Chains A and B, each alone.
Chain A
Amino acid sequence: MSSVIDVPVGPQHPALKEPLNITCYVDGEQVVGAKLRIGYNHRGVEKAGEYQTYIQNLYIAERICGICGIVHAFDLAQATEHIIGKEIPRRADYLRTIGLELNRVHSHLLWLGVAAHEIGFDTLFMYVWRDREAVMDVIEEFTGNRVTYALMTIGGVRRDLPQEKAEKMLRVMDVLEEKVKKYKEMCLNERTIRMRCDGVGILREEDAIALCAVGPTTRASNVPFDVRADDPHAAYDEIPFKVITYDTCDVTARILVRIDETLESINIIREAVKKMPSGPIRVRLPRAVPAGEGVGRTEAPRGEVIHYLRSAGGERPFRWKVRAPTLANLLSIPVMLTSKGDYVVYIADVPIAFASIDPCLSCTDRAVKFVDVSSGKSWVWTFSQIKRMYWKDKPYWRERP
């Protein structure tokens, strides 16, 4: 078959829990090009931020993304503290680290389940999500909420971690470590998983660097880029951990990076609970922030999150800019989804390849639009170009409306 049809995936599509439209140009079962349309989720958070106080913005920041919301709240708090120029108590740093790492554990497990669902392995999905509930319980006990923690505040954290809760947390972590190790074994040994993930969604190292990919996506392409290590914030400077990289550049590598990072996060939580100093958990900072600018940055489960904050004095920010990791990784999607030479992409690979960057569009779409890109040197194709190149008549026996 030489004719090409377009198969839209989304915006309402069971594989995508969020609205997005990937138009794949397929030749039979092979994908020859891909186009993304995002922006279904654009809400205009940044503009709203200029009309709200810093404290109000913390809560809307947490709701930029329901999976890694704490990261956005942390970044905003960090940037604000940079402008004010005050250090926060050490104990707060440790509590923030614990919050961030619990979030990473839950997010990576969530992702592993979703990835299993994408390749039709619902049993693994159910098992992983069952064990994820244990983390959710710990989070709920620690912060009071399952999803939006409201832990961060400007100048520290809002809740302390008493000894008995910390001990329970460690017990859960022990159980979880066993389970996660088992899943790793499963992913390495289960043949159908390997068949679906090996060599799929390849993002080569040079592409990952050129396209500024972040997080597990880039670490699975053998680029050791981790904000926690490079730019230690919170308590990461006192807690040793490994930056996980794999060099096979495919979906399997991304699965393994995330599983290993989960194990690493469990270690960080243990270490943080052990080393945590006593003392106050927050300092009171003035509600009016002096003029200045600050950059908040941390490693979300999906990759680097960066907030730029400009204050012109007063209770409201002058400009608040958010960049979520998915936006940085989206550029890699058309590269992963375009067959080139020996590298063949099938329709069946689209959901898992796309899911392998752990897309979180609600973060991304606060201010973004759509994309038409493809791989190779001349790496921007517009829609009409693709149309001209590939879109012939649909192989169909009956005219469609």
Chain B
Amino acid sequence: MTLEEELVSKIKEKFGDKILEAKVQRARRVFVTVDRSTYKDVIRFLRNDVGVTHVSTMSGVDAIDHFEVIPHLSYKGVVISVKAIVPKDSPEIDTITDVIPGALFYEKEVHEMFGIDVKGHPDLTHLELPEDWPEGLYPLRKDVKLEELFKRITKERD
């Protein structure tokens, strides 16, 4: 059994039905989909029992009907992307900075770009891009159009 398959089976064994999907895409690329309620447990399991210490980055995705928060963990060359599904009506997720401190910036980024509230994050104060960025405008959300964002610049110019 390859390392990738071993990781998938370990996760499946531990969490069973709570894992919505777990697959090996290709060599050294593993994708796991979970609900946000089990998301932190999976991360904690990977950190404490498997020994994953490195989070490469955290992607946020606006998948039209829901958000996804995807920490990409790195373990012996394998990238484990843990996809957490976040519903649009309550954009919240638990922080993982207490498990892996290196995720600090990435969670800030997700918060800033998608407006997903990261619960328990030590510092989610004014994160926005320029200091005067308007409240509630999250540039990477799909409903925010590029033209709209352009208007900010052109308006200020006049």
- Asked whether B50 is an interface residue with its Cβ less than 8 Å from the other chain, the reply is no
Q: Do residues A51 and B146 form an inter-chain contact, with CB atoms below 8 A?
A: yes
With a CB–CB cut-off of 8 A, which chain B residues contact A232?
Answer: 77
A207-246: CB near B (< 8 Å → 1, else 0) gives 0011111000000000001010111100000000000000
Q: How far is the CB of A243 from chain B (nearest CB, A)?
A: 12
Q: Pick from B56, B104, B140, B149: contact of A323, CB below 8 A.
A: B56
Contacts of A327 in B (CB 8 A): 57, 105
Proximity string of chain A (350-393) to chain B, C-beta cutoff 8 Å, 1 when within and 0 when not? 00000000000000000111111100000110100000000000
Among residues of B, the one whose C-beta sits closest to the C-beta of A324 is: B57
Please indicate the chain B residues that have their CB under 8 angstroms from the CB of A225 in the complex: 54
Q: Are A212 and B149 in contact (CB under 8 A)?
A: no
Alpha-carbon distance A364/B74, docked complex (angstroms): 19
Q: How far is the CA of A229 from the CA of B77 in the complex (A)?
A: 8
Minimal beta-carbon separation of A74 from chain B (angstroms)? 16
Chain A residue with Cβ nearest B70: A308
A295 contacts B140, CB within 8 Å?
Answer: no
Closest to B113 in A: A367
- Determine the distance from Cα of A213 to Cα of B56 in the docked complex, in whole angstroms: 9
Q: Are B56 and A304 in contact (CB under 8 A)?
A: yes
Q: Give chain B interface residues in 68-92, CB to chain A under 8 Å.
A: 70, 72, 74, 76-79, 81
Q: Are A44 and B55 in contact (CB-based, < 8 A)?
A: no
Interface size on B, residues (CB 8 A): 44
Given contacts A295-B72, A308-B70, contact A369 B123 (CB under 8 A): no
* Minimum CB distance partner of A320 in chain B: B59
The verdict on A47 contacting B70 (CB below 8 Å), with A209-B53, A210-B101 known, is no
Docked-complex contact A368 and B70, CB < 8 angstroms: no
Q: How far is the CA of A231 from the CA of B123 in the complex (A)?
A: 33
Known A-B contacts A369-B112, A369-B129; A48 and B29 likewise in contact (beta carbons under 8 Å): no
**Cross-interface CB contact of A330 among B57, B60, B101, B105, cutoff 8 Å:** B105
For B79, what are the chain A residues with a Cβ–Cβ distance below 8 Å?
231, 295, 297, 306
Q: Is the CB of A211 within 8 A of B101?
A: yes
Q: Complex: how many Å from CA A278 to CA B144?
A: 48
Contacts of B28 in A (CB 8 A): 231
Q: Does A131 contact B (CB under 8 A)?
A: no
Asked whether any CB of chain A lies closer than 8 Å to the CB of B130, the reply is yes
Q: Does A55 contact B (CB under 8 A)?
A: no
* Contact across chains for B57 and A306 when beta carbons are under 8 A apart: yes
Which residues of the partner chain A approach B56 to less than 8 Å between Cβ atoms? 212, 297, 304, 306, 323, 328
Smallest Cβ-Cβ distance to B103: which chain A residue = A212
Cβ–Cβ < 8 Å partners of A367 in chain B? 109, 112-113, 129, 140
- In whole angstroms, how far apart are the Cα atoms of A186 and B74 in the complex? 37
For window 93-144 of chain A, which residues contact chain B by CB distance below 8 Å?
none
The answer, yes or no, to whether A310 is at the interface (CB within 8 Å) is yes
Residues of B within 8 A of A51 (CB): 146
Query: Which residues of chain A in 315-360 are interfacial with respect to chain B, using CB atoms and an 8 Å cutoff?
Result: 318-319, 321, 323, 327-328, 330-331
**In the complex with contacts A231-B79, A306-B57, A306-B72, A211-B102 CB distance below 8 A:** yes
Interface residue? B157 (CB, 8 A)? no
Task: Quote the shortest CB–CB distance from B139 to chain A (angstroms).
Answer: 6
A310 (CB) vs chain B CBs: closest residue: B61
Residues of B within 8 A of A209 (CB): 53-54
Q: Is B127 an interface residue (CB 8 A)?
A: yes
Bound Cα distance A330, B57 (Å): 13
> At the interface, yes or no: A42 with Cβ under 8 Å from chain B?
yes
B57–A369 contact, CB under 8 A? no
6 A–B pairs (Cβ distance < 8 Å), ordered by A: A47-B139, A210-B102, A227-B77, A295-B29, A295-B81, A380-B122
7 tightest A-B contacts by CB?
Answer: A212-B102, A230-B77, A323-B57, A231-B77, A321-B59, A380-B122, A308-B59
